[in-house]
Amino acid sequence: MKKTIALLASAVLAVSMVTSCGKSNGSSQTGHKWENSETLNEWQKSLLESQGLPTDIEQLSPTQKRSIQHIYEMITYLNEKYDEEFVYAGYVEPGLMDEETLYAYPKQYGAEGGKNTVEVTLDENGDFTDTYSNMDVSSYVEKLIGDYVRGYFKSDEIAYFMTVNDSDIESMEEVKNGNFNWNIGVMNSFFFSDEYFNAEDLEKFAPQFARWLYEHKIVSNNHLNIVKNVDVKKATYSNNDPCYKIENNVFFFDLAINHKRVATSTSKNRDIIRYDTEEYVNNELN
């Protein structure tokens, strides 16, 4: 979904965001204290100039001055913590209803239409916290899931978009034989062409998918959608708006799973039905 982010209190931009469903990766810093510099470095000047704002600190409002300093510290935290370069993508000022948040993405992976967006915030102890998860792990789980779904249907008339909401996995060494041990949480969105699929196909598939996710111990929210008037083979992370248009939706099956609970809802029955995970999976095995 789209979310508009205030940029230094004077401009706006849109980035793709997702709702986190668990803990984010912690920070190595403790009790962070904001700096109060009277000068701007070249990175800060470049960002201000790109947004049409003054590059002379004396011409900035107190709010803009604070924001550009905080933005730099937050992105520097990412660069140093992960020893790679991150690219600024947006910023939300602190307010009564908003938590101060930096949005960025790792330069080596690109923005991917918001797929790789990382959030940086301050936790209740004043420490930086971020939502960055190892991209090797992300790429692996995305390919694993995508290959399974397309292999099950033996079709490429399926668009698939994944976002990692939560991960306690630092490297591929922690993933043994495709077992994520419930330490990763993802949001999967699948779009099936109505020319090749119908509601019964997804209703039959969903329990089998739940069983597969259970076997791989992947926490996930899964949105299975049959759509019309969409060339799903051409949909990408940066060009998928038609997939999400309500008027193009023919049928949906939503499936959420963790180690304790499975929850489902469909176009036919929008009431959420909850099950014990092992009971649900074992029933489907019989």
pLDDT digits (tens, 9 = 90+) for 112-121: 877 888 899 9
Q: Could you tell me the pLDDT band of residue 286, with boundaries at 50, 70 and 90?
A: very low
C-alpha span between 216 and 210 (Å, rounded):
10
Mean pLDDT of 202-211: 96
Q: In terms of Cα–Cα distance, which of 12, 29, 36 is closest to 81? A: 29
pLDDT given for residue 39 in this prediction = 93
pLDDT given for residue 97 in this prediction = 74
Sequence-distant (6+) residues with CB within 8 A of 3 are 14, 15, 16, 17
pLDDT given for residue 89 in this prediction = 94
Please write down the HEC assignment for all residues of 45-76.
HHHHHHCCCCCCHHHCCHHHHHHHHHHHHHHH
Q: Is 133 helix (H, G, I), strand (E, B) or coil?
A: coil
Per 3-state DSSP, the chain is made up of helix, strand and coil in percentages (nearest 5) of 35, 30, 35
Treating both helix axes as pointing N-terminal to C-terminal, what angle do 199-216 and 277-285 enclose, rounded to 10 degrees?
120
pLDDT given for residue 30 in this prediction = 53
C-alpha span between 251 and 249 (Å, rounded):
6
pLDDT given for residue 162 in this prediction = 93
pLDDT given for residue 208 in this prediction = 95
Q: Could you tell me the pLDDT band of residue 32, with boundaries at 50, 70 and 90?
A: confident
Mean pLDDT of 52-76: 95
pLDDT given for residue 285 in this prediction = 52
Residue 28 has pLDDT above 70, yes or no: no
Amino acid at 284: E
pLDDT given for residue 23 in this prediction = 39
Residue 1 has pLDDT above 70, yes or no: no
